Amino acid sequence: MNTEVLAGRADQDRAFVGHPKGLGYLSFAEGWERFSYYSMQTLLVLYMVRQLLLPGHIEHIAGFAPLRAALEHLYGGPLSTIELASAIFGLYAGLVYLTPIAGGLIADRWIGKTWAVTGGAVLMTAGHFLMAFELSFLIALACLLIGVGLFKGNIASQVGELYAPADIRRADAFQIYYIFINSAVIVAPLISGTLGESYGWHYGFGAAGVGMVISLFVYLSGRKWLPAERAPSRAAATPKKALTRREIRAVIVLLLLLPVLAIGSVGNMEIFNAYLLWVPSHVDLTFFGHTMPATWLVTVDAAASLSCLGGAVAFWRWWAKRYKEPTEIVKITLGIGIASLGVLALVAAAVRASGGQQASPVWILLFELLNSIGFANMFPVGLALYARASPARLAGTMMGVYYLQLFLANTLVGWLGGLVDRMPGTQFWLLHAALEGCAALLLAATAGVVGRVLAPSVEP
């Protein structure tokens, strides 16, 4: 579709809280997809540590012996149950954010975004239902990895395509988009987590499959409100201009940012791994005589994230009316710095717990608050930056590339999480805080140069 036509439609369409109607369908579809994904991710480590990787169960997993041998070779020796679970979690959670690169390429060059998102949803639905059986555990993970690769980057790039290049609503749109995601994360542990911990792991995974079916239905229902699909065959027949020098510089800088963003998010990524294992044994989670399930920690995190995402949208709109709004790179730098302070709250909790008593849940709440404020100014703002600064012809691919930072972060977390049994809690969490702090300092030192290279272009 002609860019000017799309820009005109985007300006006129304000049916969804001042944004195009398509944003609503994409946000609801992604919300249900994230419900299914976080149902799975919330249960995964606990399921492996408490059942799947124990004697009497681990022998039933088809093809598991070669995977275990490969992981133990990679990590340099035999792995305990917790170390093995953390390694598998890190591998899965990392690959989830690597496969969108291939998914973006497939959509851009061959099948288009609509077919990619649809096919990905079908594969993820199958994967969640296959998690109900120990035998098909690795097959289920494979279906989920391929499905997410086709779904995630392409649906996110469609959000960016709803807006003209100079439309300042784009950053707000991605924050709204993430409000729906975090709403799903709040609900997922309460439903799937409770079903899994209280009634059986497979009930929790089944609920995730139902959520994926709803996501597919919502996405297909709103198809006419989404950006028009360009036929890949027609695009292939049209001579393509080479990337401009400015576009090449922008792509290089966006690639160089990935490891910095990855290191800056290790504390947030650890929430689904070592955090779920460490907190129940070091922090008092008893309320009114009842111990809170470990999976509900994810709900606490999601509720804090949702509140801070909404607060970030409101704050930056208020700020923009009075002062010059910071660039995306400055917001990301502030976000990583604030998140690193949040991890220091876990260090304080570990100091308290080292005396033999469980720490107060106040430290957990402080961590969640600071981490969520940081996250609200990191990941969704980063999505907006990559959607805006990437060359238009590489939109799907570059959105997949953006998720590469989470591949790097989760791979790192898979290794770091295995240290939770070997290191005192103070050292363990201080290591995470130091990594995030270094990332913030590096971004702060280079923000001026990066901001100039990635500034909005006036080129056609």
| Nearest one of 107, 185, 194, 187 to 149, comparing CA atoms | 107
Rg (CA), the chain: 22
Contact criterion met (CB below 8 Å) for 151 and 117: yes
| Residue 457: predicted pLDDT | 58
Residue 439 has pLDDT above 90, yes or no: yes
pLDDT (0 to 100) of residue 232? 57
* Placement of tokens 């998140």 in the chain: 339
Angle between helices 137-161 and 64-75 (to 10 degrees): 70
pLDDT of residue 57: 93
User: How is domain 8-225+245-453 classified at the CATH fold level?
Assistant: Growth Hormone; Chain: A; (1.20.1250)
What digits encode the pLDDT tens for the residues 302-313?
889 888 988 988
Indicate the helix (H) or strand (E) that contains 287.
strand 286-287
Domain boundaries, the chain: 8-225+245-453
Please, which residues have CB within 8 angstroms of residue 266's CB and are 6 or more apart in sequence? 409, 412, 413, 416, 432, 435, 436
Cα–Cα dist 418/81, whole Å: 10
Of the chain, the percentage scoring pLDDT greater than 90 comes to 40
Determine the pLDDT at residue 211. 94
Strand partners, 284: none
Is residue 211 a contact partner of residue 32, using CB atoms and an 8 Å limit? yes
pLDDT tens across 378-387, in order? 988 888 888 7
Contact criterion met (CB below 8 Å) for 397 and 243: no
pLDDT at 290 over 70: yes
Its pTM stands at: 0.72
CB of 92 closer than 8 Å to CB of 141:
yes
The C-alpha atoms of residue 364 and residue 328 are separated, in whole angstroms, by 28
Angle, nearest 10°, between helix axes 112-130 and 137-161? 150
Q: Are 345 and 363 contacting, i.e. CB atoms less than 8 angstroms apart? A: yes
Phi, psi of 251, rounded to the nearest 5 degrees: -65, -45
Mean pLDDT of all residues in 337-347: 96
